[in-house]
């Protein structure tokens, strides 16, 4: 089984930045694709970004590309999401997850999920 633990969420002013992290059980990132999703109150879970297990390819929601950057450190078994130029529309619970395969961007193709970390952007 895989355990994922997010951290780094909090309250930030509009225009600010946050860096989320997701610590995974040993060798999770070396053998699977991983990604970030978010869910705001009253909305469906939304794809944010994903990265292939080998780090060769990244995928972003069109509306977020350019502001958010996904990366990982296999040595630390940690996934990151750098979020810049934040707006109130980015307020949500952010989840990291492990995909069944690399290159997928839909929630049903992810088999393990973290508990989530709250990001609140004040305007």
Q: What is the pLDDT of residues 57-78, one digit of tens each?
A: 999 999 998 999 999 888 888 9
Task: Give, in order, the Cα–Cα distances in Å from 100 to each of 22, 35, 103, 112.
Answer: 17, 11, 9, 9
Task: Give, in order, the Cα–Cα distances in Å from 90 to each of 17, 42, 66, 117.
Answer: 11, 14, 14, 13
Q: Is the torsion defined by CA of 14, 39, 101, 19 positive or negative?
A: positive
Q: What is the pLDDT of residues 88-123, one digit of tens each?
A: 999 999 999 998 888 888 999 999 999 999 999 998
């Amino acid at each position: 089984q895989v355990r994922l633990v997010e951290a780094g969420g909090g309250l930030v002013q509009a225009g600010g930045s946050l860096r989320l992290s997701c610590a995974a059980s040993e060798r999770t990132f070396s053998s699977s694709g991983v990604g970030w999703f978010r869910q705001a109150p009253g909305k469906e879970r939304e794809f944010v970004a994903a990265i292939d297990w080998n780090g060769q390819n990244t995928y972003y929601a069109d509306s977020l590309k350019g502001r958010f950057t996904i990366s990982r450190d296999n040595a630390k078994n940690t996934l990151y999401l750098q979020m810049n130029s934040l707006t109130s529309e980015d307020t949500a619970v952010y989840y990291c997850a492990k995909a069944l395969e690399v290159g997928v961007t839909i929630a049903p193709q992810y088999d393990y999920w973290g508990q989530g970390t709250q990001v609140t952007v004040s305007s």
